[in-house]
Amino acid sequence: MSQYQHLLLEDDASRIEALEFASFIVEAPAGAGKTELLTQRYLKLLATVDSPEEIIAITFTNKAASEMKKRIMDSLVDANGGERPTLSHKIVTFELGQKALARSAEKSWELLTTPSRLRIYTIDSLSGNLARQMPLLSRFGTQPAVSEDASLYYQEAATLTLANLDDAAEGPVLQQALRYFDNDHFRLNALLAEMLAKRDQWQYYIMNHHDASLAEAALAHLVTQDMQAVAEVMPLRVQEALMPVARYAASNLPCDASVALLRDWETPIPFKPEALPMWRAVVDLLLTGTNTFRKTVNVKNGFPATPEGNFYKGLYAEVVETLQQTDGAELALKALRELPNPKYDEQSWQIVLALAHLLKVATAELWLVFQQHGEVDFVQISQNALFALGDAEENPTDLALKLDYRIKHLLVDEFQDTSPTQIKLIEHLTQGWMDGDGRTLFLVGDPMQSIYRFRKANVGLFLRVAQEGIGGLSLIPLKLWRNNRSHAPVIEWVNDTFAKVFPDEDSVSRGAISYRAFVAKDRDPAGAGVTFHAMVDGGNSIEFDDDDVQEEAVESDVRQLEANKIIEIIKATWAQNPTRKIAVLVRARSHLHALVAEIRLNHADIQFQAVEIEELANRQVVQDLLSLTNALHQRADRVHWLAILRAPWCGLRLEDLHKLIGNDQVSTVLYLMHDEARLQAMSDDGRKRLLHVRDVMQEALNHRGRMSISRWVHGVWVMLGGPTCLWEAGDVRDVQAFFDRIDRMEANGQFSTEQLAIEVQKLYAAPDAKAKDLLQFMTIHKSKGLEFDTVILPGLDKTTGRTDQPLLMWEEVPREDFGGDVADVDLVVAPMPPKGKNKPNSQGIYDYMKSLEKQRAAYEDARVLYVAVTRAERCLHLLGAVAPNKKGELQPKKNTFLEMLWPVVASEFNEDKLAPSQAEPSTLNERRVSAKLEDFVPQLVRLKDPNIPDILQAEQVQYEVQQSRASAEDETGLSLEADVGTLVHRYLELIAEQGLAYWSLARLETLKLAMQRWFAQQGHPNLAAQNGVNLVLSLLNKTLTSAQGQWVLQAHEHAQNEWAIERQSDGLVIQKRVIDRTFIENGVRWIVDYKTTALAANIDESSLKQAAEQYRQQLEGYAALFADEGLSLQLAVYFVSVGRLINLSRLSA
């Protein structure tokens, strides 16, 4: 039997055993079909339990949870009457589904109609569910909303912490920390905020570890482990050979030389931390300052040019030659040089305690900030779930005891990505479980695909659990060997390559995973394979004075060549088969910029979907909207006022712009726009364009504060002609995303133009909805779990920046006697070193821990590359470039994928694969010469002159409508009624999106301060703002206690909230319509409009219907948008103040 057949049989046996009633940890390589295995086990368990709720499955993303639930339900539907499959693994699933359905019928579960009984959670949703069940113990009370981005809250908590400078208790500690950081208040604020975002990683340890001796013992343990690597390359025989040489050299050197410590070296040096000074002396003798073995020694090194000196030089050369022939010797000695002394000086430990205390205060402030805003982050949800469960061993809560009784089987997907906090949650859920008691734990993952260190996923936990179990539960290890995704040539290349790329051995503490080879089920190549496209840049004939400019020019050429090659591959692939799916995967989004630009400029026929690749802030339409928003909020902001005059809706030429502001650097642009002399100096075209913008902006500024910021800016944008400037397919979606973000900021009371600029940086353009999914661009992390016929990996020579410098570095060191508790650790911690030359002892410890993180990052980078290549089913294309060094040698850049692959692909680089920088110098020269900054004039894109008056006329109706909403003014001239309506609409949208279960009357009360701040930001005085808050709370309370209000907001099919639709006339977008809520119920599309108008509490049905009829025309307009859908339509008005839903009698297809 061949090795291939043996592995396939072992794989089949593992898949069968995985369905037995026992606890397992399963290693499933990429493409092994672990989702199918999880589905089969879930179905098997359904056939045995008394209720479906006894089984809980956990994964890490909503997408994965939905996929698992869909797989299970599809399997049940197929088993209910579908045709019996022919494939063996499908037959297993089919039969298990039939048994599950039989159990469902026996127990009256009705699983086919009640899929909600399947308990499949993300780790975050499970934590939220647990916290809700014990509101007091979880410290939430009612369940708060979860913020997708809590950075503003971290900043607020950090600011509040540093505001305690004059506090008697906190002031001295804060002063100590500020002195350490050179009184750089802003730097310390930013560092505290960064630490709060990842407090789950340090909170328990830093709050509970205040003993320097424990930290030193843990550090000594780490140092000892690292010194063992030297023991392998410096055995006793090598030390004995080096001793006389070292004694001779030391005797010829000054007493203060490091090697002088070896004058009396007579016995082998132990591999213990206390011997570090001696070992450093050995390293200084053997290695140069650049950490390479010394090729020669002389009198400076203790070897004078004497007969005796020459004799010892010969002995020295013999020792060095031996070490050079020993694998890893140079690296081991280099690492030894960088090991820190495992001791804290008093200053270092005191600053550790001070910063730990500050973090404790900041964490408390963050909790208060969360309570004030009624929102928390995902970290808080996880932590409070653990509070709700109590101490797993000594003091479990009623909830923990209830779950212990209720949960019989726990399944965890992607276990390689678990963090220590998530391990604790699993320990709590399985506390008291014993082998053979009928309860089972099933963990599945692939440690070779662990790529989420940035969220503290620790692949070492997978290794440790596999070895020692979790809690008191032992796990049977299983391994799958078969890849069902990729063709044999791809898998063979992956196996051969990554055996060289991955480390040789696993390491729990260092996050190292050795390579596990696997086999292909499909042995037929069918045209499959791996192709490496090598590019060598041999320089160019144009010399730039600035080295950075020179390097950028060369890089630009390489990226252009790469983009052309990718397009060539895409077209060739589709020429063979136009239905093949292609993915271009990159380490960083910026690595796709050249490709996207080339396609947009010269290959418009190639449609693609870019998944979170194109930053919204880089889209011109969004930049124009940011400038417009800033200009409206700050009249003195010259940059943004000038930007709106250059935007397409105005498009002033540079000559006209200069005549407007050229010799006045003081006055505001708006002031100069009213200077008739300057206007007369402009061209007729420029003056006409300027007057159009001036009139719109002046009118807008006169009505500032009379409506929400989002509606205000949108109305101005429409009046300027913004909608007619949307020329690209994705522009409408980008505009919608921009205004949605303003809406969210307003609802949370967090709007400012500065924060808006930050928020927009976090947004990405939505994929082109019109483009098919045949070509997708995404990061490698986004591609995890996906598969494509052809995968293209460009930019293998590109690096990614790692500049993370946290306030504290910490290292978790497992105790040797942790007794099976995988989370029982001691902590080594060091503060960020201060600026300046006087470095504390902790500098060495901090740098050492940074080096450990760098090593883990390198291991993970190899796993990231593995994830990328294993997305390919049939064809894999890799592209990388190198440039000759000063010696003319071709060597890859450090810390790149290409460096990892160099032993495999080096032979692909030769002289006949030069970049066009040599082949086509004239073309490149012309392009570079024309790209000089002083000659560059951006292309002006603008509306044609005849469009401007048409825009004014077409949009007048909408603007008047928006102004009419502000007619009910309070004494300030602001519209409290309109702002109440805006905020109520926003909260109704949130309630519908998050679910009624997350919202209660008590939770609304916690939002009062946020609402008050929001009204104040709209310009309302305190009393009016308080009245506004009371009105909003009253309207929302009415909805949450109204049966009809609850029905409108509950989950429905194809539900949409605040759905923006553009109305067109003669091909022009002239109005943006927003449908408050629409959904499909029993085959009927409902279109519901919210009205917050105050009505009498005892209003009769007839009056309500009469009031609803006033909005019929508006709703009929909405209905026309769904005319082609083929569904019956039901129009309705929901009057929020009385909690009544009034149907307008219209039912038509």
Alpha-carbon distance of 672 to 680, in angstroms, equals 12
Q: Work out how many domains the chain is built from and give that number.
A: 6
pLDDT the model gives residue 912: 56
Q: What is the pLDDT of residues 837-877, one digit of tens each?
A: 556 666 788 989 888 888 999 999 999 999 999 999 999 99
Judgement on whether residues 180 and 232 belong to the same structural domain of the protein: no
The pLDDT of residue 209 = 67
Residue 468, both tokens:
């020692």
Long-range contacts: 224-227, Cβ < 8 Å, 24+? Answer: 224/271, 224/272, 224/273, 225/509, 226/335, 226/336, 226/339, 227/271, 227/272, 227/273, 227/279, 227/336, 227/339
Name the one residue in this structure whose structure tokens are 């750089």. 184
Contact 745, 633 (CB under 8 A): no
The 3-state DSSP class for residue 528 equals coil
What is the percent of the chain with per-residue pLDDT over 90, rounded to a whole number? 39
**Given a cut of 90, is residue 959 above it in pLDDT?**
no
Beta bridge partners of 536: 882, 914
Quick one: pLDDT at residue 954? 29
Both tokens of 42, joined, read 């879930």
Q: What's the pLDDT at 135?
A: 54
> Angle CA(446)–CA(451)–CA(457) in degrees, nearest 5?
90
DSSP string, 95-133: HHHHHHHHHHHHHT--TTT-GGGSEEEEHHHHHHHHHHH
Residue 116 sits at the vertex; the CA angle it makes with 43 and 397, to the nearest 5 degrees, is 90
Q: What is the DSSP string of 704-741?
A: TTSS-HHHHHHHHHHHHTGGGG--STTHHHHHHHHHHH
- 448 contacts: CB under 8 Å, gap ≥ 6: 29, 30, 502, 513, 515, 516, 863, 866
745 and 829: one domain?
no
- Distance between CA atoms of 1042 and 1142, rounded to whole angstroms? 13
- Tell me how far apart the alpha carbons of residues 211 and 231 are, in angstroms, rounded to a whole number: 31
Does residue 63 or residue 904 have the better pLDDT? 904
Two tokens, residue 719: 């009046």
What is the structure's pLDDT at 171? 84
Q: How far apart are CA 1082 and CA 1089, in angstroms?
A: 20
Distance from the Cα of residue 164 to its chain's centroid: 33
453-490, pLDDT tens digit by residue? 877 788 988 999 999 898 878 999 999 999 989 999 99
Note whether residue 488 is domain-resident. no
Orientation angle between helical segments 638-646 and 620-633, nearest 10 degrees: 130
Q: Minimum mean pLDDT among 739-748, 838-847, 943-952, 980-989: which range?
A: 943-952
Per-residue pLDDT at 48: 95
Residue 944, pLDDT above cutoff 80: no
Question: Residue 218: inside a domain, yes or no?
Answer: no
Closest CA to 809 of 861, 847, 855: 847
pLDDT of 141 higher than 60? no
Report the half-sphere exposure of 155 (CA within 13 A, side-chain side): 10
Same domain, 1128 and 1015: yes
Any idea what the Cα angle at residue 300 is, between residues 296 and 306, rounded to 5°? 75
Q: How far apart are CA 472 and CA 183, in angstroms?
A: 50
How much is the pLDDT for 699?
85
Same-domain pairing of 986 and 1093? yes
Chain position carrying tokens 């971290």: 154
- Nearest one of 117, 111, 120, 126 to 57, comparing CA atoms: 120
Report whether pLDDT(1147) > 50: no
Strand partners, 1129: 1085
Instruction: Output the pLDDT for position 578.
Output: 93
Q: Are residues 1134 and 1036 in the same domain?
A: yes
Cα angle for residues 103, 106, 110 (degrees, 5° grid): 75
Which residue pairs from 737-742 have beta carbons closer than 8 angstroms and sit at least 24 positions apart in sequence?
737/616, 737/763, 737/765, 737/766, 738/616, 738/622, 738/625, 738/763, 739/710, 739/713, 739/714, 739/1060, 742/629, 742/709, 742/710, 742/713
**Phi, psi (deg, nearest 5) at residue 493:** -65, -45
Cα 850 to the center of its chain, rounded Å:
22
- 931 pLDDT band (50/70/90 cuts)? very low
Please check whether residue 355 is in contact with residue 175, taking contact to mean a CB–CB distance below 8 angstroms: no
Residues 540 and 591 in one domain: yes
CATH of the domain at 418: 3.40.50.300
**Secondary element (H or E) of residue 1141:** strand 1140-1144
Tell me the pLDDT band of 538, cut-offs 50, 70 and 90.
Answer: low
Residue 709's CATH number: 1.10.486.10
465 contacts 517 by C-beta, under 8 angstroms = no
Give the pLDDT confidence score for residue 880 in this predicted structure: 92
Handedness of CA 555, 556, 560, 563 (dihedral sign): positive
How far apart (Å, rounded) are the C-alpha atoms in residues 879 and 798? Answer: 11
CB neighbours of 945 closer than 8 A, spacing ≥ 6?
A: 685, 688, 689
Query: Is 858 part of a structural domain of the chain?
Result: yes
Where does a domain end: 337, 368, 390?
337
User: How much is the pLDDT for 991?
Assistant: 87
Question: Does the pLDDT of residue 819 top 60, yes or no?
Answer: no
Torsion angle of alpha carbons 248, 252, 256, 262, nearest 10°? 0
Question: What pLDDT digit, counting tens, does each position of 715-764 carry?
Answer: 899 888 888 787 766 788 888 889 988 888 887 677 888 888 888 888 88
- SS in 3 state form for 59-81? ECCHHHHHHHHHHHHHHHHHHCC
Q: Are residues 753 and 792 in the same domain?
A: no
pLDDT given at position 298:
93
Whether 138 shows a pLDDT value over 50: the answer reads no
Q: Average pLDDT, stretch 179-192?
A: 89
Provide the domain limits for residue 597. 529-613+774-799+825-835+842-928
Range scoring the smallest mean pLDDT among 136-145, 191-200, 233-242, 1094-1103: 136-145
User: Would you call 1102 exposed, middle or buried from its count of C-beta atoms within 10 A (0-12, 13-18, 19+)?
Assistant: exposed
Annotated binding residues: 28-35
In order of 229, 331, 450, 859, the CA distances from 512 in angstroms are: 15, 17, 10, 6
Element (H, E) at 980: helix 976-994
Mean pLDDT of 1076-1084: 89
Question: Which pLDDT score, from 0 to 100, does residue 547 have?
Answer: 56
Is residue 946 one of the residues assigned to a domain? Answer: no
Same domain, yes or no: 746 and 849: no
Does any domain span residue 934?
Answer: no
User: Mean pLDDT: which of 122-126, 143-147, 1121-1125 is highest?
Assistant: 122-126
* Residue pair 823/426 in contact by the 8 Å Cβ criterion: no
Whether 753 and 697 share a structural domain: yes
Q: Are residues 164 and 112 in the same domain?
A: no
Phi and psi (nearest 5°) for 800?
-120, 140
When pLDDT is averaged across residues 900-921 and rounded to a whole number, the result is 67
Residues 164 and 127 in one domain: no
CA distance 1090 to 1112: 13
Helix, strand, coil fractions of the chain, as percent rounded to 5: 55, 15, 35
**Res. 1133 pLDDT band, cuts 50 70 90:** very high
Alpha helices in 340-487 (DSSP H): 346-373, 378-389, 398-406, 420-429, 459-468
Binding-site residues for ATP, in ranges, read: 28-35
Mean pLDDT of the chain: 83
pLDDT at 836: 63
**690, part of any domain:** yes
- Report the CATH number at residue 987: 3.90.320.10
Token pair of 781 as six digits: 């992390």
Percent over 70 (pLDDT), the chain: 85
Q: Are residues 585 and 778 in contact, defined by beta-carbon separation less than 8 angstroms?
A: yes
pLDDT tens-digit map of 82-108: 788 888 888 999 999 999 999 999 999
Q: How far apart are CA 449 and CA 518, in angstroms?
A: 14
Binning pLDDT at 50, 70 and 90, where does residue 134 land? Answer: low
Choose one of 477, 511, 541: the last residue of a domain.
477
Residue 898 and residue 857 in one domain: yes
pLDDT tens, position by position, 377-410:
888 887 777 766 666 555 555 555 555 557 899 9
Query: Is the model's pLDDT at 924 over the cut of 50?
Result: no
Task: Quote the strand ranges of 617-703, DSSP E.
Answer: none
Closest among 745, 752, 747, 739 to 984, alpha carbons compared: 747
Of the listed ranges 136-140, 581-585, 813-817, 1077-1081, the least confidently predicted one is 136-140
pLDDT, tens only, 1033-1048: 999 999 999 999 999 9
CB–CB of 1057/985 below 8 Å?
no
H/E stretch holding 646 reads: helix 638-646
Sheet holding 609-610, edge to edge: 529-536, 872-882, 788-793, 582-586, 775-779, 609-610
> Going by C-beta distance under 8 Å and a sequence separation of 6 or more, which residues neighbour residue 167?
174
Mean pLDDT of 326-350: 88
User: Is 23 inside a domain boundary?
Assistant: yes
3-state secondary structure string, 304-315?
CCCHHHHHHHHH
Report yes or no on 208 lying in a domain: no
Q: For residues 688-704, give the mean pLDDT.
A: 88
Tokens 């502001």 correspond to: 661
Helix (H) or strand (E) holding 411: strand 409-412
